[in-house]
Amino acid sequence: MDEVKAMGSELVGTGLSFPSLEVLHLENMKRLEVWSTNIGKVSFPCLNVLVVRNCPNLVQVSPEALPSLNMLEVSECDSAVLRGLVQVASGLGSLYIVSISGLDDVAWRSVIEYLGAVEYLTIKNCNEIRHLWESMASKALIRLMYLEVQECQNLVRLGEKEEGDSCGSKAITTLKTIKIEKCESMEHCRCPNNIEELEISDCPSITSVSFLTTAGGQKLKFLSIKRCDKLLEKELLIFGGDNTRVLVNNTSMPMLQSVYIFSWPNLTTIIELKQLIHLTSLAIGDCPNMESFPDHELPNLTSLTHLIIYNCPSTDASFPRGFWPPKLHTLFIGGLKKPILEWRPQNFPTTLVDLGLYCSQSEEDDVSRCSQLSHLLPSSLTTLRIDGFKKLNSVSVGVQHLTSLQHLLLWNCPKMRHLPDILLPSLLSLKIKKCPKLEGRCSRRRGSYWSRISHIPCIRINEE
């Protein structure tokens, strides 16, 4: 309603207004300037969810009270709107703010003091904030459990830099999850004591990630770092050593369950995995300078079921026979220093059912027939993925022993032409991507393979 400039008694009336309303959205009201209720009157006593979105001229908000409000979203509005709403929502549990104009560090401090009940906080595209919290957070964010920050281009760190402390990390003891994405100026991430999940992605200026060390050890269970090109640490040290520049030190990460590391150019070494008895998933990719990986420790990872390591051309891991986690279920591997063609037969555990073999674009690739890879394909497989083999033209020979295969994925194999006829009747899914010669043969209209694959429940060719 673009012509509406003010909402007051015209909306709520003079009696008890909207006594049962639980959800209210105000959206795309381009000229709305004022939203108010009568003095001394409680409007919307049962309102649980409020969304105020794309009201760029709304500068004055003065509802008397929103006693039941639990979830608030404010986007594309002025900071005065945000401040006015949080002041009257004493029980607010979830706050989602996007593209708030005028929300600089000073304005944010005037908002944060009203967030004592907030447990879930998401901030996106608020480019005037530079420091998310400082020492006052100990008195304000006393219940915060989940923090997500996206596309805040001028955010430098989560708090003011303080010598000898981790910027509020001692104070915000309730925080369990931190997610930071696409914050281009972000330089430092100093994590509070009780963090269980940390995700940092697409932060090109970040140089350090640190954790407090406590006598009982950190509680981190999930760690994901993706595309942070300037991260300085050269070692991902899970256990052992006291070097303060390593990402994870001796006592900090005994509870890790999942680790995902992608596009970390400065990473050169991963050491001491053997004590991670709770680790179930480990994924490392696109780390061009990683030289050392403790593959000989893999048998000690008795909980590890998912392992991904690819496109790390400096990694001189040999992955000899028998050096695999005993409960390994899923493995995606390739693009390492030693080409897959030179690998000897592997003693994979019988639990391995999902295998992906990868060949990087820069890797010398002499694999033209799948029979050259057959010694790496255990009969237990139900899923097989072949990715990036430039000369491979057929998977029709060398896979006959995969009698349990149900899912076949063929990606980035430009010369691929032939499918394994003997296995097609049992397939439940067939996915083909960037294999132009094979795509035409699998076409529904004129493909020579169509009559042999049309029974497969799921067929996906180039996302169709």
pLDDT per residue as tens digits for the range 384-408: 999 999 999 988 878 889 999 999 9
Does 214 score more than 70 pLDDT?
no
- Among 225-234, 419-428, 439-448, which range has the highest average pLDDT? 419-428
The pTM (predicted TM-score) of the whole model is 0.86
Average pLDDT value for residue range 79-92: 91
Percentages helix, strand, coil for the chain, rounded to the nearest 5? 10, 25, 60
117 or 245, which is more confident: 117
139 or 155, which is more confident: 155
What does the pLDDT read at residue 381? 95
Average pLDDT value for residue range 258-279: 85
What does the pLDDT read at residue 233? 63
228 or 364, which is more confident: 228
Does 197 score more than 90 pLDDT?
yes
Q: In degrees to the nearest 10, what's the CA dihedral of 436, 439, 443, 447?
A: 80
| Separation of alpha carbons 287 and 336, rounded Å | 10
What does the pLDDT read at residue 315? 87
Inter-residue contact 273 to 294 (CB < 8 Å): yes
Does 351 score more than 60 pLDDT?
yes
Does 275 score more than 90 pLDDT?
no
Render pLDDT for 431-458 as a digit per residue (tens, 0 to 9): 999 999 999 899 888 888 999 999 999 9
Average pLDDT value for residue range 402-415: 94
Question: Rounded mean pLDDT of the chain?
Answer: 85
Average pLDDT value for residue range 143-171: 71
Longest Cα–Cα distance in the chain: 83
Does 322 score more than 60 pLDDT?
yes
Nearest in space to 84 (alpha carbons), one of 68, 104, 107: 107
Inter-residue contact 360 to 387 (CB < 8 Å): no
Does 141 score more than 50 pLDDT?
yes
Strand partners, 84: none
Percent of the chain at pLDDT > 90 equals 49
What does the pLDDT read at residue 212? 62
Per residue in 192-214, is it b (16+ CB within 10 Å) or e — as a string?
Answer: bbbbbbbbbbbbeebebbbbbee
What does the pLDDT read at residue 445? 80
What sign has the CA pseudo-torsion 378, 379, 382, 383?
Answer: positive
Query: Position 190: which residue type?
Result: R
| Separation of alpha carbons 216 and 153, rounded Å | 36
395 or 134, which is more confident: 395
Q: Picking from 7-21, 385-399, 406-420, which range would have the lowest pLDDT averaged per residue? A: 7-21
- The secondary structure of residue 300, as a DSSP letter, is G
Does 7 score more than 60 pLDDT?
yes
Q: What is the DSSP string of 352-385?
A: --EEEEE--TTS-----BGGGGGGG--TT-SEEE
